Amino acid sequence: MTEDRTGGHEAAAVLCLASASPRRRELLASIGVGVEVRPVDIDETPLPGELAEAYVARLAREKALAGGRQSRLPTLGSDTAVVCDGRILGKPADRAEAAAMLRLLSGRAHEVLTAVAVTGPAGLLEICVATRVFMREIGDSEMAAYWATGEPADKAGGYAIQGLASIFVERIEGSHSAVVGLPLYETAQLLVRQDVPLWCGAV
């Protein structure tokens, strides 16, 4: 453990995180896993006819493998997509796309898929977690106000359940941390299999 600038404690790096997402780093820190961040730039275009589960699994795997080439530590890659009516919603490019996404999600349920891949001594381990999110109806003025906050821009499906959009989410079935970007229960199991210590040490 080393003391960080805020006077808190930052765990020493035991995992390479192949991700630019601050949410994933914070989620891992919350279970005592310190990371070395190695974001990778991969093409996130779905292949023709590729199903959502195969798509997120492929991206998580590609991120883990590319990140792993830059580190000696076990390496984690992950990808989150919002899926509604078979359509994969990534991050909205602009206000119009964000509004179209929220209009599609308003007043109904959709799925959030998060895939995780971890390379390490046990080889490549992978999981994919599906969570159902039930949203209330969202009005046009709320959509416009939400876009103006800046929150939707870098979020799959154009919303953040952990942020201001929590007022739109009636309930979920599944994993809250998976919607935010990393399913902690399932990820912990993969990390243990790769000998990565959690807050409770090597188990």
Ligand X SMILES: Cc1cn([C@H]2C[C@H](O)[C@@H](COP(=O)(O)OP(=O)(O)OP(=O)(O)O)O2)c(=O)[nH]c1=O
Interaction between residue 155 and ligand X (CB under 6 A): yes
Q: In this chain, which of 79, 117, 184, 191 binds ligand X, going by CB under 6 A?
A: 79
For residue 82, state whether it binds ligand X (rule: CB under 6 A): yes
Is residue 94 annotated as part of the catalytic site, yes or no? no
173-185 residues labelled b (16+ CB within 10 A) or e (exposed) = ebbebbbbbbbbe
Interaction between residue 139 and ligand X (CB under 6 A): no
With contacts defined by CB under 6 A, name the span among 19-27, 68-76, 98-106, 191-199 that binds ligand X.
Answer: 19-27
Selection from 130, 129, 135 nearest residue 101 by Cα: 135
- The residue at minimum Cβ distance from ligand X is 19
How many residues in the shown chain lie near ligand X by CB under 6 A?
A: 21
Closest by CA to 202, choosing from 60, 35, 14, 1, is 14
Least distance in angstroms from the C-beta of 155 to ligand X? 4
> Does residue 160 interact with ligand X by CB under 6 A?
yes
Chain contacts with ligand X (rule: CB under 6 A): 19-21, 23, 39, 63, 78-80, 82, 112, 155-157, 159-162, 179-181
